[in-house]
Amino acid sequence: MTGTVDFKHDVRNDIVICTPHATMETKDDFQEMFEQFDNYFRHFYRKMDVVFVFDDMRITGEMIGVWSEYRQRLAQKHIRYARRVNPTTMVNIASTLCSAKAKNKTPNGSFKSIEEAIVAIKADRVNAGIQ
């Protein structure tokens, strides 16, 4: 993978904003990206709420299933609530497939801005009686 992931912890809202910059063409690309996520999230010692900004991530069609697998692993290990901002069609399809397969049906959705995604996560917290 010739890419990186930018992470920003919005302390005020206790939400992590993740912006991957990559074109995902092989399973190794996903493993490398998963390791970046895993290394970042492990220092929180709990599941986090996350906004994924997909302005600069591309997934080739044959890799949709692989993205779904890695996204599910990431969700099981590190994510409580997640929202997407500006997903490409392939990212959106793969994320939707993953959500449908997930045993813990965490809310998911696509938004036009980080702010809209944060509002949705805050609503999930209220609905779940958290914070």
DSSP string covering 22-71: EEE-SHHHHHHHHHHHHHHHGGG-S-EEEEEE-TEEEE-GGGHHHHHHHH
Whole-prediction pTM: 0.84
What does pLDDT average to over the chain?
A: 84
What does the pLDDT read at residue 106? 52
49-99 pLDDT, tens digit per residue, is 999 998 888 887 788 788 888 888 999 999 999 998 886 644 555 555 554
Which domains, ranges and CATH numbers included, belong to the chain? Answer: 4-127 (3.30.750.24)
| 28-54 as b/e: b if 16+ CB within 10 A | ebbebbbebbeebbeeeeeebbbbbbb
Residues 6+ apart with CB under 8 A from 39: none
Owner of token pair 């702010």 = 115
